[in-house]
Amino acid sequence: MAYQSLFPRDVFAELDRLQRGLQQAFDISPSIRGLSWGGFPAINVGSTPRSVELYAFAPGVDPASLDVQVEKGVLTVAGERKADALPDKATMHVDERFAGRFRRVVTLPDDVDANGVEARYRDGVLHISVPRREDAQPRRIAIQ
Amino acid sequence: MNDQSTPVARQAATAQAPAEPALLPPTDVIEDAGGITLLADLPGVSKERLHVNVEADTLTVEGEIALPTPEGMEGTHVEVTRPRYRRAFTLSKELDAAKVSAEFANGVLKLRIPKAEHAQPKRIEVKIA
């Protein structure tokens, strides 16, 4: 995300911000779909033996505009965040928040059940839960 | 910060310089004739975990992320690397810190900081002598 501050006295905060940005950039693991860091919405993915959990950080989005699709093992999150209209004679001092259409794509593991996908939007986070198939569950084999 | 520090020491440390690393929420600052509107993205923060403080001329926004995670979940791809947000702003003198109003919905915080009465724009009538 490109941060730009128009406060002239904010040089140190700007340096701090840059440092944090760099730190965050190096903390993440590389993805096959290229530079995923910095996109909107930011996505965290977690997995358990029973499901794959996806968290898309998309605050201020009308839930009706969100589109979640699973096709051929690829999950797509798309939507739009509309920019608020600027009031009359107003000045934008800092403009960092994302506005516009967005789309992010995540490859799912092979063992998921695309029919059981659940999506919830709460506190600005879209939580998508993708269950793994029953026959892919780890099983304990009884020894005769 | 040392992990073995007592809660009191920890508190004192946070009061001086926030040591726990936090994410910087993306923010918009819009100024119009009546005051300043600040919008900040804090996804994953519930109303109870959001703190907006004004102390002297510093406005601090802090929030903790709480997500419903199933037991035993392991992160496989992490872009939001920290569980909290923090950002501070220095208010200028003409702003009325006592009248800050806040709205918080869907992870977006909207703060309205009006200008003090004496700083409101006044149109000066020019009289013809």
Q: Return the CATH number at B31.
A: 2.60.40.790
CATH number of A11-136: 2.60.40.790
State CA B21 to chain mean position distance.
Answer: 15
End-to-end C-alpha distance for chain A, whole angstroms = 59
Q: Does the residue B3 lie in any domain?
A: no
Q: How far apart are CA B26 and CA B24, in angstroms?
A: 6
Q: Tell me the two tokens of residue A47.
A: 């997995």
Mean pLDDT of chain B: 84
Q: For the segment A96-141, what is each residue's pLDDT rounded down to a tens digit?
A: 898 989 999 989 998 899 899 999 999 999 999 999 988 877 778 8
Q: For the segment B80-101, what is each residue's pLDDT rounded down to a tens digit?
A: 889 999 999 999 888 988 889 9
Distance from CA of B127 to the nearest CA of A (A): 26
Q: Does the residue B15 lie in any domain?
A: no
The answer to whether residues A47 and B76 touch, using CB atoms and an 8 Å cutoff, is: yes
Residue B52 structural domain: 22-67+81-119
Contact A27 B45 (CB under 8 A): no
Q: Does the residue B86 lie in any domain?
A: yes
The answer to whether residues B23 and A1 touch, using CB atoms and an 8 Å cutoff, is: no
- Residue in A3, A50, A123 nearest the CB of B44: A123
Which residues on adjacent β-strands are paired with residue A43? Answer: A56
Q: Does the residue B75 lie in any domain?
A: no
- Residue in A27, A96, A127 nearest the CB of B27: A96
Domains of chain A, by residue range, sit at 11-136
The yes-or-no verdict on residue A1 having pLDDT over 70 is no
Q: For the segment A46-105, what is each residue's pLDDT rounded down to a tens digit?
A: 999 889 999 999 999 999 999 999 998 899 999 999 888 887 788 888 888 989 899 999
Q: 10 Å Cβ neighbour count for A17?
A: 17
